A = this chain, B = another copy of it.
Amino acid sequence: MAREIRTIGVLTSGGDAPGMNAAIRAVARASAYYNIKCVGFYRGYQGMIEGDHCVLNARSVRNIISTGGTILKSARSKEFMTYEGRKKAADKLSEIGVDALVLIGGDGTFRGGQTFSEEFNIPVIGVPGTIDNDIAGTNFTIGYDTALNTVISAIDKIRDTASSHNRLFFIEVMGRDAGFIALNSGVGAGAEEILIPEEDLGLDRLLESLRRSKRSGKSSSIVVVSEGDKIGKNVYELADYVTENLPNYDVRVTVLGHMQRGGSPSCFDRTLASRLCVKAVELLLDGEKNVMVGILNNEIKATSFEEGLKEEHGINKELLRISDILST
């Protein structure tokens, strides 16, 4: 089958992540290396439906390895969720002559791709690109490491002013369903407390922890809060609650927001993107399909979409324990 693939299409879909450009570059360069054509679709599946594409040769991706965002742009496509939409996309692919797809995105992207592939018998390979790190088939997703560095760099700055004024800061980071960013950046930033969706600390324990923190001589504190934390209050409500209950605290809130999605990717994310996407192209050329590539125990491996998506990619509970010990 491998010999049939003469043109590979690539797209980025879902929330964008640093390193997506490095991934696009790797797909384009690996295609050029193996003498096949590479076509990029704009705005994810939507561009595929509309046939909005460009040719990506080895030179079109020059100097993008270091840039944030995605030159192919990203979007969520409602139309692609319908059979009609996917049919249009399949027609466009055969019109343009695209034989297989590399899909860079998160779990939603993979699910859409899987359905599409089964319906129209088009080989697809998923490459995990999302800052949330919430995909079972890989230890690390592209963009996650960069997002962590962006977060701790912001918290380091906030720590400067927190320390100068003896303040308590609640800092909300991304992660609606998964606490990976909060947990790792919280440990990395030396946060006094970390609130994540996977674990309900409880308001009482939070207050107790803050009181203990003050008793132990800390003059300022940082609490990192995941968007979807379990306590069931948003970060402003949390801050109000603490202000009411610990009146001698000077509480402030920062919501880091979308800057976590941007920026020049870290070396880790660039090499990860490069390795995953070379593998993705090679798998397609080897006749593989309907799998995602991931890094598992420092090796690039393919996993079926079922496997890669089905189970929970559990957070590392050990890190919560580490955080407790280190915020002593």
Contact = CB atoms under 8 A, between A and B. Distances in A.
Contact of A270 (B188, B259, B266): B188
A81 to B, nearest CB: 18
Given A69-B164, A298-B139, A156 B263 contact: yes
Nearest to A250: B75
Given A32-B328, A257-B254, A157 B75 contact: no
Copies of this chain per assembly: 4
Determine which residue in A151, A188, A252 has the highest number of CB atoms from chain B within 10 A of its CB, and name it: A188
Interface residues of A, number: 84
Interface stretch (A23-31, A119-127, A202-210): A23-31
A169 interface: yes
Contacts of A184: 267, 271
B69 A217 contact: no
Contacts of A152: 66, 266-267, 270
Interface of A: 12, 16, 18, 20, 25-26, 29-30, 32-33, 43, 58-59, 62-63, 65-70, 73-75, 139, 145, 148-154, 156-166, 169, 184-185, 187-190, 216-218, 252-255, 257-264, 266-268, 270-271, 274-275, 278, 297-298, 300, 318-319, 322, 325-328
B165 A278 contact: no
Given A18-B160, A190-B270, 17 more contacts: A26-B326, A58-B328, A65-B190, A66-B152, A69-B163, A74-B164, A74-B165, A75-B165, A148-B268, A150-B157, A152-B266, A152-B270, A156-B262, A157-B259, A158-B257, A188-B270, A274-B326
